[in-house]
Amino acid sequence: KSGFISIIGRPNVGKSTFLNRVIGQKIAIMSDKPQTTRNKVQGVFTQDTSQMIFIDTPGIHKPKHKLGDFMMKVAKNTLKEVDAILFMVNASEPIGAGDKMIIEMLQGNETPVFLVINKIDEIHPDEILAIIDSYKEQYDFAEIVPISALQGNNVERLLATLESYL
Ligand code: GDP
Ligand code: MG
């Protein structure tokens, strides 16, 4: 199995930390994939049973930029081409208007969207379920996975779940 995965989320939610944890020293590919030149390949995770190519989706968090509409179109098309989307948020921060706009844009697409709730090490364990429930009430994600990219909690489970979508 192999597939493309886009990681999106506001600055500082932990996207790079997650990628570094998953890919670690195995980062090999620095060039763009030929057929998806607008997507920057950030890393490739290879294991016995699967290969996951993580890509960046530029522009998606700048809707107020003057190129906003164009960038959003590019981002939307990119997101249709991937096999799964990881939408990452910070467990200890409420989501903002930009996040909501992106979530709504992603709803109803065929590409499965995972809500990755990162930095769970910063909140009390009892809060995790309440956060998950509040997202579930409002939105329809393929999966909701709480993790700590920094400490590694639940990252293996996220990868295993992701694999089942490839
Ligand atoms: P990005 O902008 O989304 O790529 O975010 P980074 O990966 O650069 O992380 C931003 C900051 O959050 C850094 O200081 C990270 O060490 C920190 N961070 C990332 N993941 C976690 C986490 O799971 N727990 C905690 N406590 N901090 C984290
Ligand atoms: Mg980063």
The CA 121 to ligand 1 mean position distance, Å, reads 11
pLDDT at 96: 86
Q: Which residue has the tokens 């060039």?
A: 31
Q: Which residue has the tokens 């329809």?
A: 140
pLDDT at 35: 39
Q: Which of 144, 150, 43, 165 is nearest to 89 (CA)?
A: 144
> How crowded is residue 84: how many other Cβ atoms within 10 Å of its Cβ?
22
Best substitution site from 7, 17, 153, 154 to test ligand 1's pocket, by max atoms within 8 Å of Cβ? 17
pLDDT at 30: 42
> How crowded is residue 34: how many other Cβ atoms within 10 Å of its Cβ?
6
Domains identified in the chain, total number: 1
Closest atom of ligand 1 to 10 CA is: 3
In the sheet where 84-90 sits, what is the strand order? 40-46, 51-56, 2-8, 84-90, 113-118, 143-146
- Is 139 in contact with 114 (CB distance < 8 Å)? no
pLDDT at 101: 83
| 119 assigned ligand-binding residue | yes
Closest atom of ligand 1 to 118 CA is: 23
The CA 19 to ligand 1 mean position distance, Å, reads 11
pLDDT at 37: 42
- Is 36 in contact with 80 (CB distance < 8 Å)? no
Give the domain CATH number at 154: 3.40.50.300
Tell me which residue range forms the domain holding 43.
Answer: 2-163
pLDDT at 62: 57
pTM over 0.90, yes/no = no
pLDDT at 102: 83
- Asked whether this complex has an ipTM greater than 0.95, the answer is yes
Strand partners, 60: none
| 48 assigned ligand-binding residue | no
The CA 36 to ligand 2 mean position distance, Å, reads 20
Task: Give the residue ranges of the chain where pLDDT is below 70.
Answer: 25-39, 58-72, 74
Cβ 146 under 6 angstroms from ligand 1: no
- Is 2 in contact with 52 (CB distance < 8 Å)? yes
- Is 23 in contact with 43 (CB distance < 8 Å)? yes
Whole-angstrom CA distances from 139 to 8, 48, 77, 92, 115 are 17, 34, 21, 18, 10
Cβ 149 under 6 angstroms from ligand 1: yes
pLDDT tens-digit profile of 82-114? Answer: 999 999 999 999 888 888 888 888 888 889 999
- Enumerate residues 6+ apart whose C-beta is below 8 A from 153: 120, 121, 146, 147
Longest Cα separation, the chain? 46
The CA 27 to ligand 2 mean position distance, Å, reads 15
